[in-house]
Each structure stands twice: as C-alpha cells, then as structure tokens.
Structure 1
Amino acid sequence: MLSTISVIALAIGLLCSLIITIDVLRHPQMMKIMNVVWPINGWFMGPVALWTYFKWGRLKSKDNDKEDKRGRPAKVFVSTSHCSAGCTLGDAVGVPIVALTGLTIAGSTLFAHYTVEFILAYLFGILFQFYAIFPMNKDLGKKGAVWAAIKADSLSLIAFEVGMFGWMAIVHFVLFQEPPKPNEATYWFMMQIAMILGFLTSYPANWVLVRKGIKEEM
C-alpha cells in the first residue's frame, strides 16, 4: 500500500515539475536561477509548487506586465523556495553517492547521509544564492557575492536541514523496522516529506533574515 502511495506521490511531483519546466522555458524568469528553482520545488511540493509558481512565480517572468502586489509572506515564500531548492538538489545528489560508495560514519549509514548531504546542500544553497546576488550586484565582485551569499543563506540552509534530517531520523528509527533504501520508491517519498518539512522549518529563518535586511525578498 505504502509503495503504491509512494509511486503516486513521486509521479505527481515529477508531473508538476515537468509542467513548471515547460512553462519556464516559454516564460523565462528575470532571475535566471529561478528557472531551476521552480521545477525543483515542483518535485517535492507538487501541486503547492504548481499553484505558487503560477500565482507568484510568473510575476517574475521576463514577459510579465502585471504589477507585483505580493505581500511579505508571499515574497518570503519565494525566498524560502529558492533556499529549499538548493538544499533539495544537494540532498538528492548526496543520496546516491552514499548508497553507491557504501559510506558509513561511526558505523552508521544515516550519519553518512547526514554528513554528505549537509555539505552538498550547503554548497548548492550558497551557489544558488550567489547566482541570485551576483548578476544584479556585480560591483561586489565574485568574492564579495560569495560572502554575501554565505551571510544571506547560512541560517536558512541550516534550518532547512534541521527539518529534513529530523524527519529522516524518525523514518530511520521510529516508523520502520527496516528503513527503506534509496532504490525503493518509499525512500524517495519519505525524502519528499522531508523536503516539505525542511521548507517549513526554513520559512521562519528566511522571514527573520528578510526582516533584518540580511536577505532580500524575492
């Protein structure tokens, strides 16, 4: 039963990602990195990402002529989506690395996943933030833009991983006698849920960063 639900959830996520990708190709975003962000969000947030993309994301397309009347909650949502996409990509890349190498830390595969995925999620997150900052602030220089990205997104990236890792710990130690493996649909369904929870734990951090002027609204 759970395997069937997992396949359906993953299929819905991929379909939403595909729909967003097609629309982004037709209506590219003003901020290029968002052309990557929105499809990634489609994979783990499914219909929610689809709805928010067409409601808020499309306002930032190059060919949009509608006035942007979004309030702060919507703008912080998009900022959190940007942060979450980088983390999601890093986590998704980290899983097969650990699985294929058989890496363990302190005898634990879970700790290996945590370590590799955190490093990659942080790097991808900062990279995504760099490409949000540098194109519009080239006077900072690349080093300055990297430092600005680190200041802008470190807290929110860590907050995302807290939610994501917390759920995967519950999956590993509580929900299953035998935790699902990366070659099973159930594992990736659990990862989808983990990304959603990561988004939720990252949203307050993004709100604080935006309110204090450390990070710009999107």
Structure 2
Amino acid sequence: MFVQPMWLVMLSWAVLFVGLASTAVVVVDQFVLGYRQPVKVMEMVWPVNALYLGPAAVLGYRKWGRPQSPRWLDRHGSPPRRSLNARTTIKACHCATHCTLGVLIATPVTYGFGLEMFGSTLWPEVVGDYVGAAAVGVAFRYYTEARTGGRRAWAVMRKFFMRDLLTVSVFEFALLGWLALMHFVFFHETLRPNGPVFWLIIQAGLIIGFFAAWPPTLLLTRRGVETELLSTPQ
C-alpha cells in the first residue's frame, strides 16, 4: 500500500491553511470592513480563488477588486484603469470559480456515495466536476442577467455556451490530465478527500487549470466577448 510521506502531509496542511487564511482575509475585507463589490458575484469570485491561489488572489483582489467597491470609490475617486492582462486575469478567475465550486460539489457526492466508473472513482469525479462547473456558470450568468431583466433560462444558457464554455472546458481538461497523472501514476489510486494531500493535489490542479484557461480567455477578451460583468454597473 502506498504511504504518503510525512513531509508531503505537512506541506499539504500548510498550503491548505494558507488558502483558507487568504479566503478569510478577503471575506473580512468585504463583509466586515465594508468593501462590498457592486457586482455581487465578485464577492464569491475573489474568496473562492483565494482558496487555491492564496496570497496571489489576495493581491489581485486588493489591486483590482477592492477599488471597485463604493467605499473605496468614496475615498479615492475613480478606480485605476485595468490593462488587457488584468481584465483577462479577472475573467479567468470567473472561469476558475465555476470549476472550483464544481470540484467542491462533485467531490463529496462522488466519495460520499462511493461512485465508480470503469473501476475508479476518478472518472465520476471529473464528470461531476465538469457538470458542476457548467451548472455554476449558468447560475452565475442567470444571476448577473437579473439586473437587466434577462432572466430567460434559454437565453442565459445560450450566452454561457457562447462565452464561457470554451474556457471552462479548457480548464477542466487541464485539471483532468493532472488528476489522472496523480491518481494513477504517482499515488496509485490511494488519494481520498479525507486527507490533506488530496486537497493539495486539487489545489495544484486548479492552478494548472487557471493557467491553461488564460490563453483562450485572452482570445475572447481581445475579440470583445464579455464572460461576466466585472465592474461597477453603469
């Protein structure tokens, strides 16, 4: 039986702690210190990305998210101008939020019910991740469309398939490749969500997915395709 080395377990706990602490920093800044986001889905986007990007997400939030809040605008005036790379990164964070929440939904379902496909728990998990990411993406778009009276389910799904499905798919395929490598080659199907190493592998896979989704997100951004509302509604 494969035994996970102690250094890896300790590293996993440390990384998990950093991710949770980073999420707490963003949540406190938004809901306790009052730097609320004008686009409410962003109040989920920034903390969720902090779960796996850690301090990097906190820095991104401080640079691009916090200046969008009414409290910051009252004190400093108009927010700083965002570069193309900044807009692309924020949109990639939207995609990553869908996929991260998909993982958090699919993992307890897969392992809680003991689901297997082709003799492995990996395949139902990745299918669940993908379906969960798509469902969260549609829900996010449905919510953001509400302010314009656009709550038509078919129209929302059409926008998701046109504007979000590419990045979500690239993200998920990169995550799948990483999980398959870890699951079958390095850990010999011993990874389970009741241990910290499992979640370290998930965090690393989410980072890989984020960087894989960045180029197609840049392509969509250059073409003027908006994946989500990103700033103060006009």
TM-score category by the smaller chain?
over 0.9
What code does the residue aligned with 1:89 have? L
Alpha-carbon distance, 1:144 to partner: 2.2
Secondary structure (helix, strand or coil) at the match of 1:64 reads helix
Q: 36, 39, 53: which is aligned to 1:31?
A: 39
Question: Residues of 1 paired with 2:106 and 2:52: CA distance?
Answer: 16
Q: Is it true that 1:165 corresponds to 2:176 in the alignment? A: yes
**Count of matched residue pairs:** 217
Structure 1 alignment gaps of length 5 or more: none
Question: Residues of 2 paired with 1:83 and 1:139: CA distance?
Answer: 21
Q: Is the 8 A contact 1:13 1:45 kept in 2?
A: yes
Q: Is it true that 1:150 corresponds to 2:156 in the alignment? A: no
Q: What pairs up with 1:36-75 in 2 under 5 angstroms?
A: 36-65=44-73, 66-75=78-87
Question: Residues of 1 paired with 2:160 and 2:72: CA distance?
Answer: 27
- Report what 2:117 is aligned to: 105
Structure 2 alignment gaps of length 5 or more: 1-6
Q: What pairs up with 1:175-186 in 2 under 5 angstroms?
A: 175-186=186-197
TM-score by length of 1: 0.93
- Report what 2:200 is aligned to: 189
Alpha-carbon distance, 1:129 to partner: 3.1
Which has the higher mean CA deviation after the structures are superposed, 34-43 or 202-211? 202-211
Q: Is the 8 A contact 1:168 1:190 kept in 2?
A: yes
- Report what 2:138 is aligned to: 126
Q: Is the 8 A contact 2:142 2:151 kept in 1?
A: no
> Which is greater in Rg?
2
What code does the residue aligned with 1:130 have? Y
Q: What fraction of aligned residue pairs are identical, expressed as a percent?
A: 30
Secondary structure (helix, strand or coil) at the match of 2:71 reads coil
Secondary structure (helix, strand or coil) at the match of 2:70 reads coil
Which has the higher mean CA deviation after the structures are superposed, 58-67 or 179-188? 58-67
TM-score by length of 2: 0.87
Secondary structure (helix, strand or coil) at the match of 1:63 reads helix
Question: Residues of 2 paired with 1:147 and 1:192: CA distance?
Answer: 30
Runs of 4+ with deviation above 4 angstroms: 139-142
The structure richer in helix per residue is 1
What code does the residue aligned with 2:175 have? M
